[in-house]
A and B are shown apart, each in its own frame.
Chain A
Amino acid sequence: MNVEQIISSGLLEGYVLGMTTEEESALVRDLCVKHPELLEEIQQIESALIGLGSQQTPAPNDNLKDRIASQIQFSNAEPEARVVPLNRVEPVAGKSFGYRLAVAASVALLIASSVYIYTLHRQVSDLENRLADASASNTMLSVEMAAEKESMHKLAANFSIVSDPGMKAIPLNGMNSLATRSAMVHWNPETNDLYFNATALPPSPGDKQYQLWAIVDGKPVDAGVIALENGVVFQKMKPITGAKAFAVTIEAYGGSPSPSLDTMCLLGNV
């Protein structure tokens, strides 16, 4: 809506007359902010209505203004204001003392409220900071919690795999470079499912990877590369049938088609 459309809509007249709904009044208010010239229009409508109200009847009695003034209280008593009979009996000195007292009290109140507001402001910003800290640590906690939950789930899943009665646990003993280390292989000879448990294995050196081999009919069969990089310590390997033993060698990244026997580091018989 442009200014002319607003003006000719009759909205402003309704606004001044108090006939508009709350939504319409809010609209007028917003429009006045956008188009200050509307305020001028509103003032002219108001003046016309005030003019109309003013001239249609006898005026109120001349003393009515004083009558009303005596019924209400003012923060500032003007010297030239009419004298209220009640005040006439009060001594002048008392009046000015009272006035000074009132001023002093106002100043004191002003200072006190300023200090109070400042203190409140400090408290509010302190609380805001603490709230921000609390919600940050809350977020962190829930992230940690989610991670914990996930690892719990994994552990539970691994545990149920290991607990299967058909699953055989085969310890692999360290040799050569890993003489003091060990690992576990979990293998189900019926379903051929094979898992490698590297909980106690150090990370593979540099660009190398551990590779698991099954010894089937005296020959090594590739059972898969062990991907320790992701912190995975319990990994499903390739299914193996009829293994007599398992061995781990250290191979180039991605594994080798056949094991290099001089890098064998773990070995265990079924």
Chain B
Amino acid sequence: MGIISYFRENKRSIKKVTYTQDELIVLIREKNQKAFSYLYDNYSKALFGVIYHITNDQEEAEDVLQNVFVKIWNHFSSYDEQKGRLYTWMLNIARNMAIDSTRSKHEKVKNKIQEASDTVYHRNRMYTENSSHETIGFKTLIAGLKEDQQQIIDMAYFQGFTQEEIAGRLGMPLGTVKTKVRQAILMLRELTKKEILQ
């Protein structure tokens, strides 16, 4: 017990500043450089993970991440904290820009017929393309989830499917999707806790 709390304290003291979401939003609105620094230090890895998951290319993912941060910074007025979390907003931007990036890359390579492919088709393709890659990619946290939980987290978090899309794709009721998402995240929380205490 004593050791655990010592480590917790230690972890906390290593972290420099912690802003609440509201504080951070104020600072971003002011275009304060500290806000950018904090934003980057705390969210860039997670956003990069999501982007990389879609682009599957380090350099392209870095370019997208750069564009994502520029967009967040320059179009912050379009963020409405009444509508959702800051991280959720950034996540959406990251996913959309990553999807746009791979789409335009694919479109350059493939011929005009491919242009008819709509978002659903595109997403679908990426999903199947990437699913083999994931199992190599996340060894630690995601490996702690059951296979169906991995799948649902992948669709909900990394691919950005809606609940209805997941329900339709996996052929399960909406309520089941919600429950499964919740169970998967609960499991992730458990795993994260363990990891911190290790």
Contact = CB atoms under 8 A, between A and B. Distances in A.
Interface in A47-99: 47-61, 64-65, 67-69, 71-78, 81
What are the 9 closest A-B residue pairs judged by CB atoms, nearest first?
A: A53-B46, A10-B178, A53-B49, A54-B45, A10-B182, A56-B138, A74-B33, A75-B31, A57-B52
A44 interface: yes
6 contacts: A18-B92, A48-B188, A55-B140, A56-B49, A56-B138, A59-B48
Contact of B33 (A14, A55, A64, A77): A77
A9 to B, nearest CB: 7
B178 A47 contact: no
A45 B47 CA distance: 16
Contacts of B69: 68, 72
B45 A81 contact: no
Of B43, B85, B153, B179, chain A has the most CB atoms within 10 Å of the CB of B85
A62 B156 CA distance: 29
Nearest to B73: A72
B62 interface: yes
B44 A60 contact: yes
B66 interface: yes
| Count class of interface residues, chain A | 35 or more
B97 interface: no
Contacts of A213: none
Contact of A13 (B30, B70, B73, B181): B181
Interface of B: 30-34, 36-37, 40, 42-50, 52-53, 58, 61-62, 65-66, 69-70, 73-74, 82-85, 87-89, 91-92, 137-138, 140-142, 153, 156-157, 160-163, 178-179, 181-182, 185, 188-189, 192, 195
B31 A74 contact: yes
Contacts of B44: 60, 64-65
Given A17-B156, A72-B73, A75-B31, A48 B66 contact: no
A217 interface: no
Nearest to A44: B189
Of B43, B89, B189, chain A has the most CB atoms within 10 Å of the CB of B189
A187 interface: no
A42 interface: yes
Contacts of A77: 33
A45 B92 CA distance: 16
